[in-house]
Amino acid sequence: MPAVKASRPLQACAAVCLLVSTVLLSSAGRSAAMAAEPSGAAMRALIVDGQNNHANWPQTTRMMRKYLEDSGLFAVDVVTHAAKGEDPAFQPAFADYAVVVSNFGHGAAAWPAETRKAFEDYVRGGGGFVAVHAADNSFPEWAAYNQMIGLGGWGGRNEKSGPYVYYTDEGRLVRDTSPGAGGAHGPQAEFAVVIRDGSHPITKGMPGTWMHANDELYDSLRGPADNLQVLATAYSIRTKRHEPMMMTISYGQGRVFHTPMGHGNDSQECVGFITALQRGAAWAATGTTDLPLPADFPTADGPRRRKFAPTSSPAGVPATAK
Ligand code: ZN
């Protein structure tokens, strides 16, 4: 795997990068550490988790950690919030990372005010952020967070949160401001993902249509949708509209990749999800990615899954709601 092949050069580079970073940190301040790393260098990624309505979140954190490491691009840390209530000690050093991935979910307690501020400063200043599945349920009252994710669901979100963004059958992007609740989904199923912009580094080379493994198809997401680009959609039989499945958002100097895919362990075993996560994280961190499309990438004929191992928690634990 790339991570193994690259381990020795990465170690060597890490020492050099540390020296360079030390100089940069002392001369130009901390924000310099967030500058894009040269291709092939080890970047630091952070997964934050701890409160999620999906009982399988510890397992999906393990899965996403391994996927990011398997890309050969990232060394991954995890910072876990207290399981219940607010957590004054939740103060990740966001500025130390090229990208932050959220595995929070519906009903998560508000982060401490200073942590929210640090996160806003981090992304606005050029940090990368990746929101996966129920991360777009989190923090409906946090205006800057809603700006970052572009669209969200549940938590009282409605037309006051912003437009419902979808594609028509004719391929027209609609920003629907009519009244309605934000966030819903039908029964889990395999579904087709349709690429809307195949020229973006995240989607480049993907088949125009590919089958995603069993998942919840989020629909009717609402939010500010500022500086939002929809890269891919999926047709919802519930709404009869084409719902965003891969999005990019710019927030200040920062880049955000948002996918509402990734409900269950089986959803995250989809090679399409894995590739989107790896490429999305790399793009959020650096502004580009040249990660190749894997040979087992799904096609329009059917999904492709990689059975995740090791598995140390029950597979397929259903979420309670979102
Ligand atoms: Zn879910």
- Cα distance between residue 125 and residue 95, in whole Å: 9
Question: For the chain, where are the E strands, in sequence order?
Answer: 43-49, 74-80, 99-102, 128-132, 164-167, 173-176, 184-185, 189-195, 209-215, 218-219, 228-236, 241-251, 254-259
Give residue-wise pLDDT tens across range 236-292: 999 999 999 999 999 999 999 999 999 999 999 999 999 999 999 999 999 999 999
**Residue 175 CA to ligand 1 centre (angstroms):** 24
pTM of the predicted protein model: 0.85
Asked if 161 and 152 count as a contact pair (C-beta separation under 8 A), the reply is yes
3-state secondary structure of 72: coil
The pLDDT value given to residue 250: 98
pLDDT surpassing 60 at residue 78:
yes
**Residue 320 CA to ligand 1 centre (angstroms):** 8
What are the structural domains of the chain? 2-286 (3.40.50.880)
- Cα distance between residue 9 and residue 215, in whole Å: 38
Give residue-wise pLDDT tens across range 122-150: 999 999 999 999 999 999 999 999 999 99
**Residue 137 CA to ligand 1 centre (angstroms):** 10
**Residue 322 CA to ligand 1 centre (angstroms):** 4
Which of left, alpha, beta for 259 (phi over 0: left; psi -120 to 50: alpha)? Answer: beta
**Residue 216 CA to ligand 1 centre (angstroms):** 6
**Residue 22 CA to ligand 1 centre (angstroms):** 42
Tokens of 205: 């080379």
